[in-house]
Amino acid sequence: MAESSKEPLAKPQPTPAKPASSPAKPASSPAKPQPPQWHVVYTLPRHEKKAARELELQGLEYWLPLHKVRKQWSDRRKWVEEPLFKSYLFVLVTPRNYFDILNTYGIVRYIYHEGKPAILRDADMDMLRRLLDSTYELEVTPLQLTPGQQVRVEQGPLMGHTGILIKQNSNQSVRVDFEILQRSVVVTVPLKFIRPLEDLS
């Protein structure tokens, strides 16, 4: 009988070593929540108190500085409380309530300065509170504007229009140059109606 051929036994293959596991990456720490800040908002004319009430109804924190002013009527004089800053309101803003504040009745927009949101610093708030609690007489006057500066009208029939400041007549009015139909139209506007354009961007 022929002998059956036997195949040589295969040599056992060495078990491949397991690759060393890379060290676990440390879990990234969650981003720190942005602390709330006191922003400045612009309200409709004579709507500071109404806007403040609307914010209060929503549970949103605000500050409306008031000071006493003596008003003269034809038959009497009386002390009344008025906003220290006309058409301005301070609101405590977080990323969650930013748009809730903006959509509140009476509030027009956030105030910006040099392209950044206007922020009321804690030191400035503390100083204002001290002044309001004192017996000092307070008067807020607009900053002096510079001829050639771009301004925008915030109240009145020219509301929303921009122009070039020509001259500040006094603490009460300014002359502004508006371009209409490729013509220069110079208008005397109450100073309280205008804002520097860089504060609105």
Characterize the bridge pairing of strands 107-110 and 112-113: unpaired
d(CA 9, CA 27): 51
pLDDT exceeds cutoff 70 at 64: yes
In this prediction, residue 155 carries a pLDDT of 80
Pairs from 63-70 (Cβ < 8 Å, separation ≥ 24): 63/38, 63/89, 63/90, 63/91, 63/125, 64/89, 64/90, 65/90, 65/128, 65/132, 66/132, 67/132, 67/138
Region 34-139: CATH code:
3.30.70.940
Say what the pLDDT of residue 18 is. Answer: 58
Class of domain 141-201: mainly beta
| pLDDT band, residue 95 (cuts 50/70/90) | very high
pLDDT at 9 over 60: no
pLDDT-derived band at 57 (thresholds 50, 70, 90) equals very high
Predicted pLDDT at 80 = 85
* Residue 108 burial (C-beta neighbours within 10 Å; 0-12, 13-18, 19+): middle
| Matching fold, domains 34-139 and 141-201 | no
Residue 133: exposed, middle, or buried by beta-carbon count in 10 A (0-12, 13-18, 19+)? exposed
**pLDDT tens digit sequence for 156-195:** 888 888 888 888 776 677 777 777 656 677 888 888 788 8
Q: What residue segments make up the domains of the chain, in order of their start?
A: 34-139, 141-201
